[in-house]
Amino acid sequence: MKKSDSYEEFIKGIWRDNPVFVQVLGMCPMLAVTNSAINAVAMGMATFFVLVGSSFLVSSFRNWIPKQVRISCFIIIIATFVTVADYTLLALVPKVHKELGAFIPLIVANCMILGRQEAFSSRYPVRLAVMDAIGMAGGFLLALFSLGAIREILGDGALFGIKLFGENFEPWVIMILPPGGFLTLGVILLFFNWFKFKKDEFLAEVAEAERGGG
């Protein structure tokens, strides 16, 4: 029972409640850096670190933090993790840091992270909170990667900088420019909508059939 609980928390973030494709959260830092797969993955990893770290801390100290100052405490915790991620990236991978630039500090303003602290970590025990954070951050990473990969493949004919097509491929440059970000996410959301529509239709049919049979 317990086991299935934490598994449930984990899987809901990856698919059913995917922060980007279903809840449409945390888009500010997301669209800007998904012009290549490597940037998207770096941003996803940084967000993963920040979300899991702050969920762990918030959940551990949830009984010590008074309700009145909880938001300020959450923001201080998140900002600390973001600063740590910022300096670590700058020291380890200066090239990627240069590409992401000002968008790493902006992880602070990612509404998904503060939202998880308020809605989940501050109410549940550490194990569940961390599983929830891993699921959500994993879903976020997955979403960033798919956007980055689609945009890089179409816009540059490459994935992680490795050319996929021959010389004759004419890159669809608009995809790595800002409009491509809006269009790609729009089309993916369309796909998720369609999936949900089909599922609802299917469920309705099943219910209909059951009623008819009984």
Partner 1 sequence: MNTGANAAAPSSLRLILTLAIAGLISGIAIIGIYESTLPTITANKARELREAVFKVLPGVSQMQQFVWRGDQLIAAEDLQKDEEAVYGGYDENGEFVGYAIPGAGPGFQDTIGLLFGFTPEQQLVLGMEVLESRETPGLGDKIYKDADFVGSFSKLSIDPEIVAVKKGTTSQPNEIDAITGATISSKAVVRIINKTHSDWIQRLPPPGSEPPLRQDAGDGS
Partner 2 sequence: MDNLTWIFISALLVNNFVLTYFLGLCPFLGVSNSLETSARLGLATTFVMLVTAVCAWVLNTYVLIHAPYLRLICFIVVIASTVQFIEMLIRKLSPALFRAMGIFLPLITTNCAILGLAIFATNRGYGFVEGIVYALGAGIGFTLALVLLAGLREESELSDIPALIKGTAMNLIIAGILSMAFMGFAGLFSSA
- Give the binding site for partner 1 (CB under 8 A): 63-66, 68-69, 72-73, 76-77, 79-80, 83-84, 87-88, 90-92, 94, 98, 155-156, 171, 173, 176-177
Is 173 a residue that touches partner 2 (CB under 8 A)? no
Among 110, 117, 121, 122, binds partner 2 (CB under 8 A): 110
List of E strands, the chain: 158-159, 162-163
DSSP 8-state secondary structure symbol assigned to residue 87: H
Distance separating alpha carbons of residues 96 and 38, to the nearest angstrom = 8
Distance separating alpha carbons of residues 42 and 76, to the nearest angstrom = 23
What minimum distance in Å lies between the beta carbon of 190 and partner 2? 5
Pairing of strands 158-159, 162-163: antiparallel
Residue 24's binding partner among partner 1, partner 2, none (Cβ under 5 to 8 angstroms by kind) is partner 2
Residues near partner 2 (CB under 8 A), total = 40
Distance separating alpha carbons of residues 131 and 55, to the nearest angstrom = 9
Residue of 20, 13, 12 whose CA lies nearest to 111? 20
Nearer to partner 2, 94 or 101 (CB): 101
Distance separating alpha carbons of residues 129 and 122, to the nearest angstrom = 8
Residue 66's binding partner among partner 2, partner 1, none (Cβ under 5 to 8 angstroms by kind) is partner 1
Is 202 a residue that touches partner 2 (CB under 8 A)? no
| Distance set, CA 112 to CA 97, 109, 136 (Å) | 22, 9, 9
Among 69, 119, 187, 204, binds partner 2 (CB under 8 A): 187
Place of tokens 């992880």: 107
The number of residues in the chain equals 214
Is 174 a residue that touches partner 2 (CB under 8 A)? yes
Is 171 a residue that touches partner 2 (CB under 8 A)? no
Is 94 a residue that touches partner 2 (CB under 8 A)? no
Chain residues that interact with partner 2, rule: CB under 8 A: 24, 27-32, 75-76, 79-80, 82-83, 86-87, 101-102, 105-106, 108-111, 114, 174, 177-183, 185-187, 189-190, 193-194, 197
